[in-house]
Chain A
Amino acid sequence: MKKIRFWSGDIAAAEGAIAAGCRFFAGYPITPASDIAEHMALRLPQENGIFIQMEDELASMAAILGASWGGAKVMTATSGPGFSLMQENIGLGAITETPCVVADVQRAGPSTGMPTLVGQGDVMQSRWGSHGDYETIVISPSSPQESFDLIIRAFNLAELYRVPVIFLMDECVAHMSERVVVPPKEKIEVVERLKPSMPPEQYMPFKPLNNIAPMAIAGMGYKIHVTGLTHNEKGYPQTTSTEVQEWMIRHICDKIRKNERKIRDIEEYEMDDAEIAVVSFGIAGRSAKAAVKIARKHGIKAGLIRLKTIWPFPEEYFENAADNIKKFIVAEINYGQVKLEVERSIHGKASVELLPKFGGAVHTPMEIYNKIKEAKNGN
């Protein structure tokens, strides 16, 4: 039977993670993500899982990678300063193809910034934060309900693609409490990672079979070597082979890039005949939706494109959308991040305008509506 709950986004994300099978959480307290850790500390022992508060975010990220190789579904949660500290080991997760979910509950930055207030300034960092070429999947919920539903998807994608998935929340979504419908257990789709079944002498731990290599966890008897160095299909370091480097980078990037369409999750609202599209995500996406409603009341053909997955960026989607749109207004709580991606994707087919908020507050629907109105009037 489904259950109705009144949860904050943080609690909903924690419960969603547990519903997805997360049984290992390592983290370090930071506003506005601490509620996730606190809820995990309460709930995981009940579910025969493990919660551990580490000494910092470097350790938290390393611990979840280790636990993932130990066989658990794993998660950590943090905010900007901690997310910055996690970046090196997010890269280790990417190169070793380790399934894990990292919730980054964004507050206004840079640095310590505005610890208790909203921001959406980590969009680029969630994709490019670690050094070198790699890909992540980045999911952004707009409500506690989506925090629950989409974090389950985050775990499923992490396991399916063997990749760190960033659950990019924001302070408002994390701290607001709303009705959350929790489906019955049997209605929740949960994906388990593919494990090898061939004899050890035939197993190549990093050789993809249909895009992804089966993952041998510790103790299965495969005796694998896992390294953050450039490695071949066997997992052995190959630190001077440009061929192996190319093969490996193509693999860790293309397994995501080539599946962009499958990973893509976008809410379209009033887009059928829209001439002006507001692009937004997270909490700003809700103001954007309200603004579109107001615009429609005034007879303006405006629509909403709300990104539930931000990375891999849906370039193809935007390029197609631009055939019918005169102007994109990108409403985000930063000084222009998704805006750059929209611009890049549409190849000049339409104009793109940024409607920034600098952190600490969410756009009001009227602010966004006024931009729509200006666009309509050709300003």
Chain B
Amino acid sequence: MEIEAEANPMDKYLRADRIPHIWCPGCGLGIVLNAFLHAIDELKIDMDELAIVSGIGCTGRIAGYINCDSYHTTHGRAIPFATGLRLANPEMKVVVISGDGDLFAIGGNHFIHAARRNIDITVIGVNNYNYGMTGGQLGPTTPLGARTTTSPYGNVEHPFNLCHVAHASGAVYVARWTVLHAVRLKNSIKEAMNKNGFSFIEVIAACPTTYGRRNKMPTGLDEMKYYREHSIIRHGIDPSQANIEIGKDIIVGKFIDIEKPTYSDAFEELKKRVKK
């Protein structure tokens, strides 16, 4: 018997000819994609004016599934690529979606400087506590003590608190959610995309295949249960108070929402002042 699948209302935003996607069962990335598509749907974004830029990794594959101008760049370089694109083409809404390793290890320098300059882009950083694509190595967000393929005896490095990094670097909007908070995540994406300036959302996402399995959460559901038991919402908290540690509460919420001139605003002003 053939079962006809009902069209999902979000299908229109996807490149149908690129499905099935590459992600594992239980992976959090589908929820991130879904929340993003709902956000652009509710914002009524003109898909001709949206550009998605990503680096390399499981998360980096999101760009290729969304039916808009999409750029899958090199590992770590999504943000500077997006910076060039946004400055050269100010009509475009530019969103970077990439992984924790991509954005904060190999690309960490670009993140802090784009935030400092207040480049008008939204960055969605998917934190799955490890390098999913390459088989589950230690990353800059791997919690102390966690086991990965390159920390087989437990991680001895202190992880980054991504929201603290974003805040300290100058981001005008900073929020953190887990993939359990799909609707709040969607609302945050809408807010971030409406911000003028560098907005950042950290999404804590399940990676059962390469992270969960080695850390007593072998399925996506286990990770979701962990988020439900451990996450607490604290809007407006100083992000420096929101470190992530194994077994402790994960503080989520909207932490920062401020206004300041963007790089483009300032550069346009400068151009006006410059007389030939």
Write the residues of chain A forming the contact surface with B, with a CB cutoff of 8 angstroms.
23-24, 26, 45-46, 48, 50, 52, 54-56, 58-60, 62-72, 74, 88-89, 92, 216-229, 236-237
Q: What B residues does A67 contact at CB under 8 A?
A: 84-85, 87-89
- A-facing residues in B67-89 (Cβ within 8 Å): 67-74, 76-77, 79-89
Contact B69 A66 (CB under 8 A): no
Q: Which of A24, A88, A221, A224 contacts B84 (CB 8 A)?
A: A24
Q: A70-B89, A70-B92 are in contact. List 11 more A-B contacts (CB 8 A).
A: A23-B88, A26-B80, A45-B267, A62-B74, A62-B81, A66-B88, A67-B84, A72-B88, A219-B51, A225-B64, A227-B72
Given A63-B80, A69-B85, check contact A92 B92 (CB 8 Å). no
Q: What A residues does B88 contact at CB under 8 A?
A: 23-24, 50, 66-68, 70-72, 74
- Does any Cβ of A come within 8 Å of B276's Cβ? yes
Q: Which of B49, B85, B275 contacts A70 (CB 8 A)?
A: B85
Contact A226 B85 (CB under 8 A): no
- Does any Cβ of A come within 8 Å of B48's Cβ? yes
Given A66-B53, A70-B84, check contact A217 B77 (CB 8 Å). no
CB of B96, distance to nearest CB on chain A (Å)? 11
Contact A74 B51 (CB under 8 A): no
Please report whether the interface of chain B is mostly helix, strand, loop or mixed according to DSSP: helix
A144–B18 Cα distance when bound, in Å, is 50
Contact A74 B84 (CB under 8 A): yes
List 6 A–B pairs whose Cβ atoms lie within 8 Å, in order of A's numbering.
A59-B83, A66-B83, A66-B84, A69-B85, A219-B48, A225-B71
Contact B73 A228 (CB under 8 A): yes
- Does any Cβ of A come within 8 Å of B244's Cβ? no
Contact B113 A70 (CB under 8 A): no
Contact B81 A63 (CB under 8 A): yes
Q: What A residues does B81 contact at CB under 8 A?
A: 62-63, 65-66
Q: Which of A66, A217, A236 contacts B80 (CB 8 A)?
A: A66
Contact A89 B74 (CB under 8 A): yes
Q: What A residues does B79 contact at CB under 8 A?
A: 59
A216–B89 Cα distance when bound, in Å, is 13
CB of B109, distance to nearest CB on chain A (Å)? 5
A50–B73 Cα distance when bound, in Å, is 22
- A-facing residues in B100-123 (Cβ within 8 Å): 109-110, 113
Contact B18 A218 (CB under 8 A): no
Q: What B residues does A92 contact at CB under 8 A?
A: 73-74, 77
Name, among B81, B88, B109, the residue most crowded by chain A CB atoms within 10 Å (CB to CB): B88
Given A24-B84, A70-B85, A228-B74, check contact A45 B92 (CB 8 Å). no
Q: Which of A59, A220, A225, A228 contacts B113 (CB 8 A)?
A: A59
- Does any Cβ of A come within 8 Å of B230's Cβ? no
Contact A219 B67 (CB under 8 A): no
Query: In which size bucket is the chain B interface?
Result: 35 or more
CB of B130, distance to nearest CB on chain A (Å)? 22
Q: What B residues does A74 contact at CB under 8 A?
A: 84, 88
A68–B80 Cα distance when bound, in Å, is 13
A222–B81 Cα distance when bound, in Å, is 19
Give the nearest-CB partner of B111 in chain A: A55
Q: What A residues does B74 contact at CB under 8 A?
A: 62, 88-89, 92, 228
Contact B15 A225 (CB under 8 A): yes
Given A46-B276, A66-B80, check contact A219 B87 (CB 8 Å). no
CB of A209, distance to nearest CB on chain B (Å)? 20
- Does any Cβ of A come within 8 Å of B47's Cβ? yes
Contact B72 A54 (CB under 8 A): no
Q: Which of B17, B86, B110 contacts A59 (CB 8 A)?
A: B110
- Does any Cβ of A come within 8 Å of B274's Cβ? yes
Name, among B15, B72, B85, the residue most crowded by chain A CB atoms within 10 Å (CB to CB): B85
Given A46-B276, A223-B48, A225-B72, check contact A54 B63 (CB 8 Å). no
A226–B18 Cα distance when bound, in Å, is 14
Given A56-B109, A67-B87, A69-B71, check contact A237 B48 (CB 8 Å). no
- Does any Cβ of A come within 8 Å of B270's Cβ? yes
Q: What B residues does A224 contact at CB under 8 A?
A: 69-70
CB of A228, distance to nearest CB on chain B (Å)? 6
- A-facing residues in B109-162 (Cβ within 8 Å): 109-110, 113
Contact B72 A228 (CB under 8 A): yes
A281–B276 Cα distance when bound, in Å, is 36
Give the nearest-CB partner of B53 in chain A: A66
CB of A49, distance to nearest CB on chain B (Å)? 9
Give the nearest-CB partner of B83 in chain A: A63
A147–B165 Cα distance when bound, in Å, is 43
CB of B186, distance to nearest CB on chain A (Å)? 22
CB of B71, distance to nearest CB on chain A (Å)? 5
Q: What A residues does B18 contact at CB under 8 A?
A: 236
